Structure 1
Amino acid sequence: MMKREKKKKKITLFSVCLAIVFLLVCFLMIVPLWKVFVDSLDLHTAYGMKMWPKKFGFDGYISVFTNPTLYQPLLVSVITTIAGTFIGLILSTFGAYVLIQWEMPGRTFIANMLLFTMIFSGGMIPTYLVINNLHLTNTLWSVILVPALNVYNLVLMRNFFEGIPVSLFESATIDGCTPVGIFFRIVLPLSKAALAAIGLMFAVSYWNDYTNYKLYITNSDLYNFQMKLRSVILGSDLPIANGSATANTVKNAATMVAIIPFMILYPFCQKYFVTGVNIGAVKE
């Protein structure tokens, strides 16, 4: 048998420049993160860029996790992230399923009105007035419901649902399945990739939320971890340093605590994230 000759890819100037730019972008993203990680483990008081800790220790992380004032903000972040992601997925999936009902009167008008809000919205002040009139200020519902109404994620979910073969809907209807049954028995089981991708985007949005807490929450007992992290970074509410930890060590350790959860979660969701975003983006 004759071996097939492998075609050698020609290295062009464009590909070399593209690789250099990509490496530069990766470098600019990784270096700051690496500095924060190193400083969170360095018990030395010297500032500056270091590749490795001069005095290694976990006292910074111990100071963060043993401080009672950080328990409640961390708990608020966990609760709002779980509840907000769940509610956001419910609104996105139900709304997307309604928009793919081709026989529904006014379907195109409703879809266009939703798309219109992505370009023109009421803005910060009208939204605040609505939240205030609904008596949701200084409640966790304000920071849960506002990000949950995300038209962009709804449109992504609708595009994914439209990629499901129509024959499946027709077969289920012939077998006597109701629209609600079709949604739970056919649509949702086939949408695991989209649910994982959009759920991850919701979760990241809720976990890193700072603006909504700043706008709608004045009660410090309802602050999330990001709001508390700001106070720690500014030094106005720095946790007590345990052992040999310095103030700089504690600040960087608190920053890493806010970053690490999704650094651990993302590799497990990466395949669903890529698949969920790409499917439905290109129409045949």
Structure 2
Amino acid sequence: MSEIVVKKKKKKVKVFPIVNAIIFILISLIILVPMWKVIVDSFDARAGYGMLFWPQVFSINGYKEVITNAVLYKPFLISVFVTAVGSLLGLTLATLGAYVLIQYEMPGRNFFANMLLFTMIFNGGMIPTYLVMKNLHLLNTLGAVIFPLAINVYNLVLMRNFFEGIPGSLFEAAQIDGCSPMGIFFKIVLPLSKAAIASIGLMFMVTFWNDYTNFKIYINDNSLFNFQIKLRSLVMDNDMPDVGGVDPNTVKNAATIVAILPFMIMYPFLQDYFVQGVNVGAVKE
């Protein structure tokens, strides 16, 4: 009998997935290692400049100082207020503006849409914007940092694209039933747009919470500085309050964690809405 020689095919090793995995692991480590150092130092009463994987002297006094110290307490509340009011105003303008732009029978619809898109490419610049704020008497007021960021054409376009994905038959059925345009907006459009509202609302909240530039340009009153401005002064200028036995670096790192903690907690709950809303709003079929 002739011997049958079965040659096993050698599996080809694909290089790209391996290299891709290594690159992403390295990028993840570059991001996670500094974050872990900040977290460890925020719980270490003797925080130093070396790399530690666990606190030497575990303490939560750094967080107590951040929460209870008036120097940091008021800027934190200002950031919360600006984020809440600005995000609500921004969502209101984005949803109403997007709803107006999907009214195809409206005279001048294309003109207004093109004017809005024009502002995404060209803007007045820093000095003209500053002069506008000055003439409106908004300098050294929270309105100067809320109004410019609340009008976001990119978010408005995303919302418009999402609204255009709603079947037109729903609008027609509502009109036949005698529903007014604003009734359609509140009873049909908004309930069907939870994903877009959640994702765009998260964008607004991150933008307002991390705002540093507008506060630096339009606010000169120290009592109106937000948490990011104060955090910068703590880290860069060593403008530290009396920390009562806690290493100043511990308070700095605790303040950094407090600054990013709200969205670290919030994002996992909004992740599904965020991905769905951005994908639907960014891609128009």
State the TM-score, normalized to the length of structure 2. Answer: 0.93
Structure 2 distance, partners of 1:126, 1:250, is: 39
Closer/same/farther in 2, CA of residues 261 and 280 from structure 1, 3 Å limit: closer
Aligned to 2:7: none
Q: Is the 8 A contact 1:160 1:280 kept in 2?
A: yes
Aligned to 1:73: 75
Structure 2 distance, partners of 1:223, 1:162, is: 40
Runs (4+) of structure 1 exceeding 3 A deviation are: none
State the TM-score, normalized to the length of structure 1. Answer: 0.93
Q: Is the 8 A contact 1:88 1:202 kept in 2?
A: yes
What per-residue deviation string (whole Å, max 9, x for no partner) do you get for residues 5-53 of structure 1? xxxx986222222222222221111111111111111122532111111
Structure 2 distance, partners of 1:241, 1:158, is: 49
Matching residue's letter, 2:96: F
What per-residue deviation string (whole Å, max 9, x for no partner) do you get for residues 170-202 of structure 1? 111111111111000000000001000000010
Q: Is the 8 A contact 1:239 1:250 kept in 2?
A: no
Shift of 1:234: 2.5
Aligned to 1:19: 21
Matching residue's letter, 2:114: N
Aligned to 2:54: 52
Aligned to 1:270: 271
- The answer to whether the aligner puts 1:221 opposite 2:223 as a matched pair is yes
Structure 2 distance, partners of 1:79, 1:193, is: 24
Q: Is the 8 A contact 2:47 2:249 kept in 1?
A: yes
Structure 2 distance, partners of 1:30, 1:147, is: 30
Report the aligned-residue RMSD.
1.5
Structure 2 distance, partners of 1:119, 1:100, is: 22
Closer/same/farther in 2, CA of residues 173 and 11 from structure 1, 3 Å limit: farther
Q: Which range moved further: 234-243 or 69-78?
A: 234-243
Structure 2 distance, partners of 1:176, 1:45, is: 67
Structure 2 distance, partners of 1:109, 1:195, is: 25
- In structure 2, stretches of 5+ residues that fail to align are 1-10
Structure 1 distance, partners of 2:227, 2:188, is: 38
Matches within 5 A, 1:79-98: 79-98=81-100
1:192 to 184, 191, 194: 194
Aligned to 1:4: none
What fraction of aligned residue pairs are identical, expressed as a percent?
64
What per-residue deviation string (whole Å, max 9, x for no partner) do you get for residues 250-269 of structure 1? 11111111111110111111
Matching residue's letter, 1:206: F
Q: Is the 8 A contact 1:100 1:161 kept in 2?
A: yes
Q: Helix, strand or coil for the counterpart of 2:281?
A: coil
Structure 1 distance, partners of 2:190, 2:13, is: 45
Q: Which range moved further: 203-212 or 107-116?
A: 107-116
Aligned to 1:234: 236
Q: Is the 8 A contact 1:194 1:272 kept in 2?
A: yes
Structure 2 distance, partners of 1:11, 1:120, is: 49
- Larger gyration radius, structure 1 or structure 2: 2
Closer/same/farther in 2, CA of residues 149 and 11 from structure 1, 3 Å limit: farther
- In structure 1, stretches of 5+ residues that fail to align are 1-8
Shift of 1:89: 0.2
Matches within 5 A, 1:149-164: 149-164=151-166
Structure 2 distance, partners of 1:10, 1:267, is: 38
Q: Which range moved further: 164-173 or 66-75?
A: 66-75
